[in-house]
Structure 1
Amino acid sequence: MPPCSPQDQPIATRYEAGQVTVNLTCMERRNALTAEAVSGLHNALDEAEDRSGCRLLVITARGSHFCSGIDLTSALPPPWLTDQEPSVSTLLNRLATSTVMTAAVVDGAVTAGGVGLTAACDVVIARSAASFQLTELRLGLVPAVILPYLARRTGPHRAGALALLGETLSAEAACRAGLADHVSVRPDSEDDLRWLRGQLTAVRRADIHTLKAYRDVCAAPLPPAETVKELVRQSFESPAARRRIEALRRMGLV
C-alpha cells in the first residue's frame, strides 16, 4: 500500500470554538495508525489540553475507511513496544483520561485497532456509513491493546465474542452493543460537530475531568502496560501471523 502523498499527510488539525478537530486524511493507507498519525494525535491532545478554553477533541476521517488500526506495512513488531516512538497504548489511555471530552465521529469502516481508537473516546457518534469489525484473530493476532477499552464499553464477554467472531456491526448494531453512543441522521458530519459543541455549552472543563476520573474508578482497572506489550510482541512474532501479514502485503491489502 502506498505511503501518504506529501500533500496528503496522515492528519489535519484545526481549532475553533473551544474544540480541536483531528481529521485522519491518509486514505491510501485506510487511515492506519502509522507512527506519524499516532504522533499527530498525541500532539492534538497536547494542544487541546494546553488551551484553557478547549473542552472537546473530536476525531474525524476522510474516505470510506475511518481507521484500519496498527500500520501493518511498517516494521513488525511495532517499534513503540520498545518505546522508540509514541505508543498506541498510551494514546488510547490519554483519550480515555484526558481533561477534555474526546469524541469520534465515524462515517466509514472501522477495523482492528481503529475500533480501539473509537472505544477509548468518551463519545462515539456513528453515521450511516459506519461499520465496526475486529479482524485481529484472522491474522493470528490478539487485540491486547484495545480489548480492555472495548470491555469497558461492552462488557468483557461481549468484547471477547466480537473478537472471536469478527462480525461486522452496522452503526445501529454498534450502538446496541455499546461500541457507539449515538447514531446520527444529520445531513453532514459538520452538523454532528456543532451538535457536540452545543451539548457542552453549559458544562465546565473541570467537571468533565472530574466525571471521567470517577467513571474510571467505577470501571475495571486496565492491565499493566508491560503485560499488554508482551502479549502484542508474542502475537507479532508468531510465524503464522507473520505469514498472513506478508501475504496481505503482497496482495496490497494492507
Structure 2
Amino acid sequence: MSLVTRTRTRAVETLTLDSPHHRNALSAALVGELAEGLTDAGKDTGVRAIVLTHTGNTFSAGADLKDPPPPDALVALLRQIIELPKPVVARVTGHVRAGGLGLLAACDIAAASTEATFAFTEVRIGVAPAVISLPLLPRTDPRALARYYLTGERFDAAEATRTGLLTTCADDVDTALAPILDGLRKSAPDALAETKRLLTARVLETFDRDAADLTALSARLFSSPQAREGMTAFLERRDAAWAV
C-alpha cells in the first residue's frame, strides 16, 4: 500500500501523505516514497507546482519512533524540497509535530486551517530539533523558536503565521490557497525556478555549513539514555522520569 498518493489538477501535482493510522509519521518508507514523488514531479514538464498535504487529522507527527529514517535521509528530503526547481506548497488541515515542522519550513509556501496545531515536542522525549533547524532557523522568528523549541508548548495557526512558519491561515485553507495556486499556474516555469533559487540561497548556505554537524547531533541524541527513556515514556503514555 502506498504511503504517498499522487493526483494532478491543472498542472499542480498533489502529493498526499497517506498513513493516517500512524499519524503520517516520517518512517524510512514514507520518506523514501515522498522523495521519489518529488523527484518525478520535479522532472515532469507538465507540473508547474507541487502541493504537499495529508489524510487524517495530522499532517505529520514527526519521526516514526519505531522505524525512523536515518538523519541524513531526512536532511536529503528537506534539501530536495528546497532545491526542487518548482514551488512546493504545504496544505495543512490538522496537527503538525516535531519533524513535520521541518517539512513545512522547507516548503516555499505553507497554508493551514485555523484548526491546525503545532509543537516542537523533541525536548519532551529527550532529543532536540536538530536536522529540522536547517530550514527553520533561516526562515522563522528566532524569539518564537526559542520559546517553542525549549518548552515543547503547543501553538495555533495564527501564531505559526506570525512567526513565519506559515505563509497564511484561514478557516477554509483551500479558499486561501486558490489565488496562490492560480498565480503559480500563470507564472513562467523558468522564471519560477530562478526566483525560487533567489529565495532559497541563504537556506541552502545553512545546509552547506551545518548539515553534517546537526546530523551527527541528531544521531547522538537519539541513541542517548534520555532519549530511550523519553521514547519509552511516550509509547507508554506516561511522563518521562525527569518530569517534575
1:36 equivalent in alignment to 2:23: no
Instruction: Return the alpha-carbon distance in structure 1 between the equivalents of residues 21 and 104 of structure 2.
Output: 20
1:150 equivalent in alignment to 2:141: no
Task: Determine helix, strand or coil for the equivalent of 1:197.
Answer: helix
Please give the residue correspondences for 1:75-154 in structure 2 after superposition, counting only pairs within 5 Å: 78=68, 80-81=70-71, 87-154=73-140
Aligned partners of 2:110 and 2:165 also within 8 Å? yes
Equivalent in the alignment of 1:169:
155
> In the superposition, relative to structure 1, how do residues 237 and 251 fare at CA in structure 2: closer, same or farther (>3 Å)?
same
1:69 equivalent in alignment to 2:62: yes
Q: 2:20 aligns with which of 16, 27, 37?
A: 27
Equivalent in the alignment of 2:206:
221
The Cα shift of 1:195 comes to 3.6
Pick the structure with more helix per residue.
2
Code of the residue aligned with 1:80 in structure 2: it is P
The Cα shift of 1:157 comes to 4.1
Aligned partners of 2:110 and 2:167 also within 8 Å? yes
- Identity within the alignment, %: 31
The Cα shift of 1:26 comes to 1.0
Aligned partners of 1:65 and 1:110 also within 8 Å? yes
Q: 1:206 aligns with which of 175, 178, 190?
A: 190
- 1:129-173 CA-to-partner distances (Å, cap 9, x unmatched) read 111110001111011111121112214443233201222221111
Code of the residue aligned with 1:238 in structure 2: it is S
- 1:7-51 CA-to-partner distances (Å, cap 9, x unmatched) read xx4221112311110111211111101112111111111121111
Task: Determine helix, strand or coil for the equivalent of 2:62.
Answer: coil
TM-score, L = length of structure 1: 0.85
Q: Paired residues, what number? A: 236
Task: Determine helix, strand or coil for the equivalent of 1:163.
Answer: helix
The Cα shift of 1:179 comes to 0.6
Structure 2 gaps of 5+ residues are 239-244
Task: Determine helix, strand or coil for the equivalent of 1:31.
Answer: coil
Task: Determine helix, strand or coil for the equivalent of 2:75.
Answer: helix
Task: Determine helix, strand or coil for the equivalent of 1:221.
Answer: helix
Instruction: Return the alpha-carbon distance in structure 1 between the equivalents of residues 20 and 202 of structure 2.
Output: 38
> In the superposition, relative to structure 1, how do residues 79 and 131 fare at CA in structure 2: closer, same or farther (>3 Å)?
closer
RMSD: 2.0
Code of the residue aligned with 2:85 in structure 1: it is T
Instruction: Return the alpha-carbon distance in structure 2 between the equivalents of residues 152 and 137 of structure 1.
Output: 21
Equivalent in the alignment of 1:18:
11
Code of the residue aligned with 1:210 in structure 2: it is E
- 1:72-93 CA-to-partner distances (Å, cap 9, x unmatched) read 022xxx4524x6xxx1111111
Equivalent in the alignment of 1:51:
44
Give 4+ residue runs of structure 1 displaced > 6 Å after superposition. none
Instruction: Return the alpha-carbon distance in structure 2 between the equivalents of residues 197 and 216 of structure 1.
Output: 19
